[in-house]
Amino acid sequence: MSGARLPGAPTREDRIVLHVDMDCFYAACERRRDPDLEGEPVVVGMGYESGESHGAVATASYEAREYGVESAQAISQALDLLPRTRDDDGPVGHYRQVDMAHYETVSQEVKAVLCEVADTVRAVSIDEAYLDVTDRLGWTGAAVFARNLKAQIREEAGVPASIGVAPNMSTAKVASDYDKPDGVVVVPPDDVRSFLAPLSLEELHGIGPVTARALRSMGIETIGDLASADRGRLVDQFGERGREIHDHARGHDDREVEPVGQPKSLSNESAFTEPTDDADRIADRLVTLAEEVTTRASTREILYKTIGIKVVTPPFDVHTRARSLSGPVDDAALVETIALDLIEEFEEQAIRKLGVRVSNLAFVEEDQSSLDEWNRNCSNDQQTNEPEANARSDVASNDERERQTSVFEFT
Ligand code: DCP
Ligand code: MG
């Protein structure tokens, strides 16, 4: 916690923290499955069908935001600003109902990409996560890394993101918001204070309208003003939170990027560079994925009761199938058999991506420390998988660039 930092103690400015926040996330998920919505004003919410009158906007695409539509607005107001139909040639909005199951699926795919590229990933909501990549690169490579990650998320999960890079979580979050949508903003340690100083108070996470009003009444207008404000006065007014916002305004935030929770499932996914309907190739890939998942489960003494597959067909249609057993098992051969059985339904269909998942987990040895260690290191699992991934690329055709992903779900 920033409050625990001793006066004068060095901040950990050697860290490289990314904050990834998806752009107009629910609207982007709707576009992923309906590409005709690309470039159109899209509003996702509830209560806009005829006969309904109550409901709110969950999010709006940036095109819809130009007409004043925004999150949490009453749907009736959104419909006034951007009607669904009209007689003249004025703008019309494309409205979609909230579909959480779909957004959760896309979110898992985004997080799979993040686990692929970072040593430490902490998902904090359905559409945002912090990554600590200190051990992977230096500041000179940070911008290229973030741009590549943004492109990889777009390619593998089919949705746009904005990314902020900074030496701490709080500044990285401000940075990801700075150039939305589709932005990458890198703030190296020496630039943190000058980057934050001119910004308005509400840009800092944790300062809402009420706190901002109270700060303004104290003559504090910008983050720079807050950084140079008297600390004692802020603590008198806001208690512990005053200390925290003062630290964050000065670019100090010692919170570690730490994953939380136990996995709900274990899965491995793998994308074909080009969709394929080659049954042998699909079966081979599925068997490899099943082996990888069961090896991870048995190494960690984890039993599973449900065995499932995920099949992504073009453009990004996600199909999941699963079968539950009467009790938890650790049985690699059974996972393979069930996975091959479940894939039969997709015979002759072109497949873009495959996954095997075991869920309904039971932990033989409730060893929290080893689970924590495991959660902390998505990438170590990645390394464990590398020999198999390499072996597979030997048999893949030369022009194919295949990707392997370990997926974690957190409770
Ligand atoms: N959300 C919601 N109701 C709100 C705010 C958000 O249902 N009042 C949902 C819809 C958003 C998602 O959470 O798509 C993520 O929230 P964000 O604040 O990150 O907003 P967006 O991703 O939509 O837009 P941005 O591009 O500004 O991040
Ligand atoms: Mg977002």
Tell me how far apart the alpha carbons of residues 248 and 267 are, in angstroms, rounded to a whole number: 37
Residue-wise pLDDT for 282-317, tens only, equals: 999 999 999 999 998 998 788 999 999 999 999 889
pLDDT at 381: 34
CATH for 265-405 is 3.30.1490.100
pLDDT for position 370: 38
Tell me if 60 sits within 8 A of 41, measured CB to CB.
yes
Which atom of ligand 1 is least distant from the CA of 26?
Answer: 14
Indicate the SS3 state at residue 329.
strand
Q: Please state the φ and ψ torsions of residue 59, each to the nearest 5 degrees.
A: -155, 170
What lies within 8 Å, CB to CB, of 329 at 6+ separation is 303, 304, 305
Q: Are 17 and 169 in contact (CB under 8 A)?
A: yes
Structure tokens at 69: 């539509």
Confidence of residue 5 (pLDDT cuts 50, 70, 90): very low
Rounded to whole angstroms, the Cα distance separating 69 from 60 reads 6
Instruction: Calculate helix-pair angle for 378-395, 279-299, nearest 10 degrees.
Output: 150
pLDDT at 338 over 70: yes
Ligand 2 centroid to 331 CA: how many Å?
Answer: 40
127 assigned ligand-binding residue: yes
Task: Supply the pTM of this predicted model.
Answer: 0.70
pLDDT at 373 over 60: no
Strand order through the sheet with 57-60 = 57-60, 42-45, 94-97
**12-23+103-249: CATH class:** alpha beta
- The ligand with the least distance to the CA atom of 181 is 1
Beginning with the edge strand found earlier in the chain, give each strand of the sheet holding 403-410 in spatial order.
Answer: 317-329, 302-313, 351-363, 263-276, 403-410
Residue 384 has pLDDT above 90, yes or no: no
Q: Which atom of ligand 1 is nearest to the CA of 23?
A: 26
Contact status, residue 158 vs residue 41, Cβ threshold 8 Å: no
Q: 210 C-alpha to center of ligand 1: Å?
A: 21
- Rg (alpha carbons) of the chain, rounded to whole number: 24
Q: What is the pLDDT of residue 392?
A: 26
> How many angstroms separate the CA atoms of 234 and 26, rounded?
37
Ligand nearest to the CA of 183: 1
Task: Give the pLDDT score at 54.
Answer: 84
Q: How many angstroms separate the CA atoms of 282 and 273, rounded?
A: 13
Q: Whose CA is nearest to atom 24 of ligand 1?
A: 24
| Number of neighbouring beta carbons within 10 Å of residue 168 | 26
**Residues catalogued as catalytic:** 128
pLDDT at 337: 97
Query: What is the model's pLDDT at position 389?
Result: 30
List the chain domain ranges: 12-23+103-249, 25-99, 265-405
Task: Select from 19, 22, 25 the residue to mutate for testing ligand 1; criterion: most ligand atoms less than 8 Å from CB.
Answer: 25
Domain 25-99 has CATH 3.40.1170.60: yes
Write the DSSP string, 45-64.
ESS-STT----BEEEE-HHH
The whole-angstrom separation of Cα 276 and Cα 353 is: 9
Residue 380 has pLDDT above 90, yes or no: no
Q: Check residue 379 and give its pLDDT.
A: 34
- Residue in the block written with tokens 């959660």: 375
In this prediction, what percent of the chain has a pLDDT beyond 90? 71
- Report H helices in 168-208: 169-178, 192-196
Give the C-alpha distances (Å, rounded to integers) separating 260 from 187, 256, 263, 320, 396: 26, 12, 9, 26, 36
Query: And the tokens for 103?
Result: 């957004």
Strand partners, 408: 266
- How many angstroms does the Cα of residue 180 sit away from the middle of ligand 2? 9
273 Cα–ligand 2 center, Å: 27
Measured between alpha carbons, how far is 357 from 339 in angstroms, rounded to an integer? 9
Task: Kindly give the number of the ligand 1 atom that is closest to the alpha carbon of 27.
Answer: 14
Q: Give the separation between CA 113 and CA 159, rounded to whole angstroms.
A: 12
CA–CA separation, 8 vs 382, rounded Å?
Answer: 39
Q: Is 191 annotated as a binding residue?
A: no
Evaluate if residue 170 carries a pLDDT over 80.
yes
What residues contact residue 308 under an 8 Å CB cut-off, 6+ apart?
A: 320, 321, 322, 323, 342, 356, 357, 358, 359
Per-residue pLDDT, 259: 77
Around ligand 1, the residues with Cβ closer than 6 Å are: 21-26, 58-59, 71-72, 127, 180-181
- Counting ligand 1 atoms within 8 A of each CB, the residue from 110, 127, 162, 185 with the most, and so the one to mutate, is 127
Asked if the model's pLDDT at residue 386 lies above 50, the reply is no
Model confidence at 388, pLDDT cuts 50, 70, 90, reads very low
What is the DSSP secondary-structure string of 334-383?
HHHHHHHHHHGGGTT--EEEEEEEEEEEEESS--HHHHHHHHH-HHHHHH
Return the amino acid letter for 213: R
The percent of residues in the chain predicted with pLDDT above 70, rounded, is: 84
Indicate the pLDDT class of residue 364, thresholds 50, 70 and 90.
confident
